Amino acid sequence: MFNNRILAVIKRELREKLLSKSFIIMTLLMPALMFGFILIQTFIMSFEGGKLAIKIVAETPSLMNDFKTELDTADFVKSGKIQIECLSMDKPAFKSYLKSIKKEILDEKTNAVLFIGTNAVMDKKVEIYSQTSNPSITEKLNKPINKVLVNGYFAGRLSYSEMQLAAKGVDFYGYTITKTEGIKEESHGNLVLSYVLTMLLYMGLLTAGTQMMQSVMEEKTNRVVEILLSSLKPKELLGGKIIGASVTSFFQMLIWLSPIILLLSTTLFQIPAKYIPDVSLYHFAYLFFNFICGLIIYIGLFAAVGSIFDNAQDAQQGLMPIMLLILIPFFISFSMLKDPSSPIAEISSMLPFASIIVMPPRMTVSPVAAWQIAVSMLVNILTVFGVILLSGKIYRIGILRTGTKPKWSEVIKWLKYKN
């Protein structure tokens, strides 16, 4: 039952965490760090290193001239990122030429050599020779080479404008069909928001759980818990710590999401319509309910691990299964964004532990049936009660146990003891 002793523990947790400098700094810096990591990763992925030297060998002089004309207008050639030399020779001569420049390729003076035969106009088969595979080369050369081959195939059959259309790629314009609003243009904002929610849920749960485990181990090592338990029951201390840590993390998540909520609820900020997330308040209502359940679940599990062990090194053994309960749904959530209707995404969004991280992003990128949301909520509530019962039994015995590291068989026996 909730009483004054639990309330005192909650106040103590809030005073130590909510008003601490580390909490304030991390709350303000975490979004900046998260988006900073994304920007750094994007920069690293876009960084192409030094200049590339490529030789393109066409089997006929006319084909070689077509490639030279097309590639000279390419942005990556004009910017100097790729230096291209176009040659013409038949296949036997090319084999001899390839042997003569083998050392040049091994010394990376030439990064790749492409041979394009006359049959490539019909089958679009291009041979590429290099020391190491470099997907960025084929990615950049694919479009101009394809354009030349298409023009060569349709030369004399189609006009220039028709050939340009034939070589052009397809532009997809997405439209979403809904029951209530009919047909509307698809928004990229939902996809961006789903990435943000996945990252925030992962970071929020992991941070809250880790801090709880460290707090429990610190109190156990310093023997502070023995003083606290002289006037408190173990379940009261654990309950107060879980509620206090949950309130702190919930407040932190509210701060992180406040810019998004403000952006969606006001017209003060003008952004392109295709980047505005199409979500309603019930999405955020479910998100906060879901996050509260996740906080209680994972904070309880991390607290149980912290009560079993005396130091962080030993705690890593018990931490791994809990980390998998967070990491696996995290990876499922990211893979789901490519195919929200996949069976894995649908099933995992209603499973214990997994639904905490998977369901909110899934609701953002695709319609979810009301019964599936109800099942997810029921599963989360039942998981909360199950984890509280399990964590309470482990914490009650483990928090006062010191000395030799307990075996897992012994920890299992703790679950059989009556409170």
Whether 355 and 330 map to the same domain: the answer is: yes
Q: For residue 102, count other CB atoms closer than 10 A to its CB.
A: 12
Q: Which of 167, 195, 224 is the last residue of a domain?
A: 167
Q: What is the pLDDT of residue 355?
A: 92
| 379 occurs within a structural domain | yes
Q: For residue 5, count other CB atoms closer than 10 A to its CB.
A: 16
The amino acid at residue 64 is M
Specify the long-range contacts of residues 94-98, CB closer than 8 Å, at least 24 apart.
94/57, 97/57, 98/129
Q: Which two tokens stand for residue 253?
A: 């998540």
Nearest Cα to Cα of residue 349 among 324, 391, 378, 385: 378
Whether 236 and 362 map to the same domain: the answer is: yes
Phi/psi region, residue 87 (left: phi>0; alpha: psi -120 to 50; beta: rest), is: beta
| 176 occurs within a structural domain | no
CATH number at 105 reads 3.40.50
| 179 occurs within a structural domain | no
| 182 occurs within a structural domain | no
Q: What is the pLDDT of residue 178?
A: 54
417 CB contacts (<8 Å, ≥6 apart)? 393, 396, 397
Nearest Cα to Cα of residue 365 among 334, 401, 321, 325: 334
Whether 150 and 199 map to the same domain: the answer is: no
Whether 122 and 196 map to the same domain: the answer is: no
| 175 occurs within a structural domain | no
Q: What is the pLDDT of residue 272?
A: 59
Whether 294 and 403 map to the same domain: the answer is: yes
Whether 240 and 135 map to the same domain: the answer is: no
Backbone angles phi, psi at 113, to 5 degrees: -125, 125
Q: What is the pLDDT of residue 386?
A: 92
Whether 20 and 150 map to the same domain: the answer is: no
Cβ pair 83, 54 in contact under 8 A = yes
Q: What is the pLDDT of residue 118?
A: 86
- Its domain, for residue 250, covers 4-34+187-414
296 CB contacts (<8 Å, ≥6 apart)? 242, 246, 384, 387, 388
Beta strand 127-129 with 112-116 is: antiparallel
Q: What is the pLDDT of residue 265?
A: 66
Whether 253 and 202 map to the same domain: the answer is: yes
Beta strand 52-58 with 112-116 is: parallel
Whether 8 and 110 map to the same domain: the answer is: no
| 40 occurs within a structural domain | no
Whether 263 and 120 map to the same domain: the answer is: no
Backbone angles phi, psi at 72, to 5 degrees: -65, -20
Whether 375 and 317 map to the same domain: the answer is: yes
Q: For residue 4, count other CB atoms closer than 10 A to its CB.
A: 7
Domains identified in the chain, total number: 2
| 43 occurs within a structural domain | no
| 350 occurs within a structural domain | yes
Cβ pair 154, 73 in contact under 8 A = no
Mean pLDDT by 10-residue block, N- to C-terminus, for the chain (419 residues)? 76 77 72 64 56 88 89 84 89 90 87 89 87 81 86 75 69 56 58 81 88 87 81 85 89 82 64 64 86 93 88 78 90 81 87 92 85 93 93 86 77 74
Whether 230 and 308 map to the same domain: the answer is: yes
